[in-house]
Structure formats: structure tokens, C-alpha cells
Amino acid sequence: MSDAIDFLAGHRGEVLQRGLEHVRISGISLVLALAVALPVALWLAHTGRGGVLAINASNIGRALPSLAIIALVFSLPGFGLSQNTAIIALVLLGIPPILTNAYVGVRGVDRDVVEAARGMGMRGTQILRGVELPLAAPVIMAGVRTGAVQIVATATLGALVGAGGLGVFIIDAIALQDTGRLIAGAVLVALLAIVTDVGFGALERAVTPAGLAVTQHRERTRRRGAGRGRGDQVLAGQARRSGAA
Amino acid sequence: MTLLRQAAGSVAPSIDWAWIGRHTDDMVARVIKHLIFTGIAVGLGFAISLALSLLIVRYRWTYGPITGVAGLLYTIPSLALFGLLIPITGLTVTTAEIALVSYTLLILIRNTVAGLDGVPAEVRDAALGMGFSPIQLLLKVDLPLALPVIVAGLRVATVTTIGLVTVTALIGMDNLGSFITDGLQRLFVTPLLVGAVLSIALAVAADLTLLGVERLIAPWTRATREAR
């Protein structure tokens, strides 16, 4: 442990640079994944099309080994050893949980509420923005959280394709058999993933409409008494993160 | 589509088919090693998860702490977890398996507890009324009825583990991931693609096989298949 502290003390500049690289690659990837997944999911959910695809996206995503995806992107012409290789792979891995949760979230909005909104004269986009999105926000954010943690975790492997990031310390340390560097790198990566998870968890709570939080709490306590049913478990599975990388 | 075809067209010539021909034995051996690695991790993970799940069902207050720790382990990226373990257990199978097992816990515990919670109280009461002992109740009532949800968890855990085993190649383990690390080190696309394609195929095959098992033991879930 003292080796790790020595390493951190002696390499402050490099640690900062690798940390920023990691955050930057992850951030770009998350934004791109959101830009692809959210519009598709919202459109599918709003129109009620492509449900099977959207619901199974996260299953398919989980079946894709992260290292294999990086390798596949690496082998495409024009990629190879570059940050773009890592970013494209991270986007591909980030899309499925975001897509599935956004779809499930919007579809899970009480149809009566949507009907009521329509009865009040709201139009398609108004219903989406004023009713469906706010009510679905917690589930959507849970998917974003899963995707973000997945991306930050997998960005560690970006070091293999020359994308930099905190994974560089770990990969180098294994080759150099440098314990201080290894522990320092591992702790930094773990902390970044945990901070991401906790941060997006807080965001998830922040976007939960006040009224919804009350009903959810009530339903949860009621269900606990009755024994948890299948549907509850499904949502629990979807709402929580998927896949360490 | 044309872009995809172009991409495929420009990758295809760079594939060294002769290399693939020379390494079919390697591929078979590494698929088997990959499966053994996965099997050990999921097997051990399930044994631990079952014990913890029974504890949770008995003492409900333990649910939060146990899933909290399992969730924390789950959040730590695999390469970082290997890094934290290597100073203790070295570049060994033990290191790899400890990390792999720890990733199965959250998924397996959550599903096993959900499965056990789903057993109707009336059925348990009836069994107790018939004079079942606690062990009989567990083996003949609770576990069989919880099985579909437990298998759904095993399916997710297995597929996730297959993906993570690939990463253990980075700490010197020999499996399908080794093709990828070889390829990256030598900037040689053929083994890279072989490793990537085989590990994805293995994950998909495992997923479909366990889905089949799931449906076989619980045909009624087909209509409302959403378990994950």
C-alpha cells in the first residue's frame, strides 16, 4: 500500500493526465451513446414499435464481451491503435442498457395517465415531453447509470488499443511487475467507477418526480408484504446496472 | 449496409486463413478452457449465493448489507479487481476466479432471493402441515418452485462471466481472450478476430442453451418471458 502511495506522490502529473483522459473518453462515449439510444428508444416506445428489439437490447449487450468488442472495432479499417477505437467500442457497449431502460420506462407509464393527457387535448410530442418523459425519468436514468458505469469500467481496457486512460497504469504494472503502480491504478479505476455509480445514483433520485417517489415507496412496502412478484424482479433487474467490464 | 460490406471486404483479405487452419486445435482447447473457467466461477458463485440467499430469507435485515457489498464488488471494473488481488494471490487462476466469482454474486443472490420470496406461503404451510422437515421443505418445495427464477439468474451470470473470462487473458490466463491479447500485441488481426468471434459465439450459445433450459423447466414463462 505504501508503494502505491509513493507511486501516486511521484507521478502526480501523469495520474492527473490519465485520469482526465479516462473521464474524457468515457464522457464522449456516454454522450454519443445517449444521442443514439434515447431518440430511438423514445420513438419506439411512443409509437409502440420494435418492442422485442428494445427489450432484448440489454440482453444482447450483456452477451457481448467487452474485450471482444474492442478487438472487433480495432480490426476495422481506419481504427487500429487509436482513441476512436475505444470510443466506438464504448458507445456500442453503452447503448443497450440505455435503450432498454428508456423503452421500458416510457412503456411503463400508466396508460390511463396518457389517455387523460390526450383527453385534455395534449398532442403526441406534448404527451411525450410533459407526461411520459417525467414519469419515466427514474427508469431512464437507471439505464443511463448502468451505461455510464459500464463505459467507465470498459474504458480501462482502452489502454490496450492506445486510448490511454487509467488502465495504462494497470497494464503497464502487470508487464513491469510494479506493485505500487498496479495498486495505485486499480484503486483509481475502482474509485472512478464507484463515484460514477454513486453520482448517477444521486441523479436518478433527483429526477424522480416527488409524487412518483411517494407511490413507489407505497407500492414497494405493499409488495414486500405480499411477496415480490415476477414483474417487480424484472424491473429491479433492469433498473439496476448490468455488466462489469 | 454498403458501408458494412465495404468494411467486411477490406477486413476479409487481411484474414490469414492458413493461420486459422493451423490453429483449430488451439481454438478447441481454448473454448474448453474458457468453459471450465466459466463453470468454476458460476458454480462457486452459486454455492455462495445460495447460502447467502437462505440467510437473507431467514434474516431479512441482511439483504441490504449483503447486496450492498455484492453491488460494490460488481461495480469495480474487472481489470482493477485483478490489480487489487494480484499483490495477494499473484498472476494465478485463484486471482482470476476470485474476481469472476465476486461478479456473479449480485446477480445470483438477487434472483435466488426473488425466487424464494415468490414461493406461495400457502404451499409452504401445506407442506409444513403434511409434516415436512425444514430440509424437506427447502429441497422439495422452496427450491423446485424457485428454480425458474434461479435459472434465469444463472443464465445472466454465465453470459456475463464468459465475457469477463476473456479479460483474464490480460493476467496471463489461457482462454479465448488469449487470441485477442496475442493479436493486440503483434498487431495481427487474424487471432484477434478469432478470439472476438469465438467468445461472442460462446456467450450467445450459452445464453440460448440456458434459455432453453429455462423454458424446459418452466414452460409457462414463455408467454410472459421477461425474466432476466
The ipTM of this complex is 0.81
**For residues B97 and B40, is the Cβ–Cβ distance under 8 A?**
yes
Segment (H or E) for A217: helix A210-226
Is the pLDDT at A243 greater than 50, yes or no?
A: no
Is domain B23-222 in CATH 3.40.50.10860, yes or no? Answer: no
Residue B114: pLDDT band by 50, 70, 90 thresholds?
Answer: very high
Q: A197 to chain B, minimum CA–CA distance in Å?
A: 8
Q: B221 to chain A, minimum CA–CA distance in Å?
A: 10
**For residues A93 and A55, is the Cβ–Cβ distance under 8 A?**
no
**For residues A244 and A152, is the Cβ–Cβ distance under 8 A?**
no
Q: Which of A113-117, A197-201, B41-45, B49-53 has the lowest mean pLDDT?
A: A113-117
Q: How much is the pLDDT for B6?
A: 54
Handedness of CA B179, B183, B185, B186 (dihedral sign): positive
Residue B118 DSSP label: T
Reported as a single tens digit per residue, the pLDDT across A13-67 is 889 999 999 999 999 999 999 999 999 998 888 787 777 888 888 777 777 888 9
Reported as a single tens digit per residue, the pLDDT across B130-176 is 999 989 999 989 998 999 899 999 999 999 999 999 999 999 899 99
User: In whole angstroms, what is the distance from residue A22 CA to residue B80 CA?
Assistant: 14
Q: In this structure, what C-alpha cell is assigned to residue B186? A: 503483434
Residues 32 through 61 of chain B touching chain A, CB cutoff 8 Å: none
Contacts of A157 (CB under 8 A, 6+ apart): A66, A67, A70, A86, A167, A245, B79, B167
What pTM did the predictor assign? 0.83
Q: Which residue of A has its CA nearest to B163?
A: A65
Contacts A183 to B, Cβ<8 Å: 83-84, 87
Share of chain B above pLDDT 70, in %: 90
Residue B184: pLDDT band by 50, 70, 90 thresholds?
Answer: confident
Q: How much is the pLDDT for A216?
A: 63
User: In whole angstroms, what is the distance from residue B168 CA to residue B106 CA?
Assistant: 20
Contacts B14 to A, Cβ<8 Å: 75
- Check if A193 contacts B (Cβ < 8 Å): yes
3-state SS, residue B195: helix
Domain boundaries, chain A: 24-164+186-239
Residue B110: pLDDT band by 50, 70, 90 thresholds?
Answer: very high
Give me the CATH topology for the region A24-164+186-239.
MetI-like fold (1.10.3720)
A-interface mutation test, from B56, B73, B75, most A Cβ less than 10 A away: B75
- Check if A189 contacts B (Cβ < 8 Å): yes
Q: Give one word for B221, left, alpha or beta, with left for phi > 0 and alpha for psi -120 to 50.
A: alpha
Is the pLDDT at B196 greater than 80, yes or no?
A: yes
**For residues B180 and B194, is the Cβ–Cβ distance under 8 A?**
no
Q: B211 to chain A, minimum CA–CA distance in Å?
A: 12
Q: In this structure, what C-alpha cell is assigned to residue B39? A: 463453470
Q: Which residue of B has its CA nearest to A80?
A: B187
Q: Which of A214-223, A236-245, B73-82 has the lowest mean pLDDT?
A: A236-245
Residue B92 DSSP label: S
- Check if A167 contacts B (Cβ < 8 Å): yes
Q: Using CB atoms, pick whichever of B118, B156, B193 lies closest to residue A62.
A: B156
Q: B32 to chain A, minimum CA–CA distance in Å?
A: 17
Q: Determine how many CB atoms are found less than 10 A away from the CB of residue B126.
A: 12
Q: B14 to chain A, minimum CA–CA distance in Å?
A: 9
User: In whole angstroms, what is the distance from residue B28 CA to residue B70 CA?
Assistant: 34
A-interface mutation test, from B79, B106, B149, B171, most A Cβ less than 10 A away: B79
Q: Looking at per-residue confidence, does A114 or B34 come out higher?
A: B34
Q: In this structure, what C-alpha cell is assigned to residue B179? A: 487470441
**For residues B116 and B58, is the Cβ–Cβ distance under 8 A?**
no
Reported as a single tens digit per residue, the pLDDT across A149-184 is 999 999 999 998 888 899 999 999 988 888 999 999
Q: Using CB atoms, pick whichever of A65, A170, A227 lies closest to residue B163.
A: A65
Residue A229, phi then psi, degrees to nearest 5: -90, 180
Q: How much is the pLDDT for A169?
A: 93
Beta strands in chain A (DSSP E): none
**For residues A87 and A162, is the Cβ–Cβ distance under 8 A?**
no
Contacts B111 to A, Cβ<8 Å: 233, 237
DSSP A131-164: IIHHHHHHHHHHHHHHHHHHHHHHHGGGGGGT--
Mean pLDDT throughout B33-61?
Answer: 95
Q: In this structure, what C-alpha cell is assigned to residue B98? A: 476470485
Q: For B210-215, which contacts have Cβ atoms below 8 Å and span 24 or more sequence positions?
A: B210/B151, B210/B154, B210/B155, B210/B158, B210/B159, B211/B155, B213/B151, B213/B155, B214/B148, B214/B151, B214/B152, B214/B155
Residue B219: pLDDT band by 50, 70, 90 thresholds?
Answer: low
* Residue A134, CA distances (Å) to A44, A46, A77, A137, A140 in order: 17, 14, 42, 5, 10
Domain boundaries, chain B: 23-222
Residue A11: pLDDT band by 50, 70, 90 thresholds?
Answer: confident
Q: B193 to chain A, minimum CA–CA distance in Å?
A: 6
Q: In this structure, what C-alpha cell is assigned to residue A209? A: 418526480
User: In whole angstroms, what is the distance from residue B92 CA to residue A188 CA?
Assistant: 23
Q: How much is the pLDDT for A215?
A: 63
Mean pLDDT throughout B101-127?
Answer: 93
Interior CA angle at B42 toward B41 and B47, to 5°?
100
Is the pLDDT at A76 greater than 60, yes or no?
A: yes
